[in-house]
């Protein structure tokens, strides 16, 4: 169903401070950064060496945003596990058939114009699972 791990998402309070920490501690640097108003996040994708694997730092844009709520409840840390899919509409249909709740009726816009949806963490063993169908011209 999934083709690879797209990224692991980590909630942080301050994006710039977190980028500094990852740079200074782990020599990891930003390969992509954007603000997604609809999702209420400032986000930065960081590469793990040349592996193609990434982590995503997620900082809240507003106090009411999903990441702000997560930080209030759980503190900074892993917020989501994202898998790449080739066809998010087909995968969503399969998951719904299997009884899993997706958060959105239709995919929304994610990082780098990808199409995204989420499996509710209560239906996925306590893990917020993001489905990512990358834009045709993107590596992530
Ligand atoms: N991982 C695991 N469990 C989570 C969770 C997470 N990230 N977020 C919430 N939960 C749990 C809560 O702890 C709660 O469990 P309990 O009932 O046992 O306490 C349960 O899920 C329901 O939580 P809730 O408070 O009712 O709902 P929230 O307001 O926290 O919303 C969710 C949860 C998943 C609907 C919300 O986080 C959401 O819409 N996520 C998808 C969008 C998103 O994460 N956007 C930011 C990233 C953007 C991007 O990646 O591009």
The closest residue, in CA terms, to atom 48 on ligand 1 is 39
Q: State whether ipTM is beyond 0.90.
A: yes
Average pLDDT over residues 88-114: 98
For 26-72, the pLDDT digits (tens) are 999 999 999 999 999 999 999 999 999 999 999 999 999 999 999 99
| Domains by residue range for the chain, with CATH | 4-133 (3.10.180.10)
pLDDT of the residue at 39: 95
The closest residue, in CA terms, to atom 4 on ligand 1 is 121
State the DSSP string of 84-99: E-S-HHHHHHHHHHTT
Mutate to test the pocket of ligand 1, among 121, 126, 134 (most ligand atoms within 8 A of CB): 121
Query: Do residues 12 and 35 touch, judged by C-beta distance below 8 A?
Result: no
Other beta carbons within 10 Å of 23: 13
Distance CA 127, CA 47 (A): 22
- Closest atom of ligand 1 to CA, residue 40: 46
Strand pairing report for 108-109 and 115-119: antiparallel
């Amino acid at each position: 169903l999934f083709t690879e791990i797209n990224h692991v998402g980590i909630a942080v309070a301050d994006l710039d401070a977190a980028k500094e920490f990852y740079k200074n501690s782990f020599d990891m640097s930003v390969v992509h950064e954007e603000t997604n108003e609809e999702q209420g996040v400032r986000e930065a994708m960081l590469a793990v060496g040349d592996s193609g694997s990434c982590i995503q730092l997620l900082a809240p844009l507003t106090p009411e945003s999903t990441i702000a709520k997560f930080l209030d409840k759980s503190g900074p840390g892993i917020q989501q596990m994202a898998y790449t899919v080739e066809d998010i509409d087909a995968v969503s249909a399969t998951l719904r058939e299997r009884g899993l709740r997706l958060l959105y009726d239709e995919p929304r816009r994610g990082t780098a114009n990808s199409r995204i949806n989420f499996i509710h963490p209560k239906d996925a063993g306590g893990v917020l699972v993001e489905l990512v169908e990358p834009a045709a011209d993107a590596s992530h």
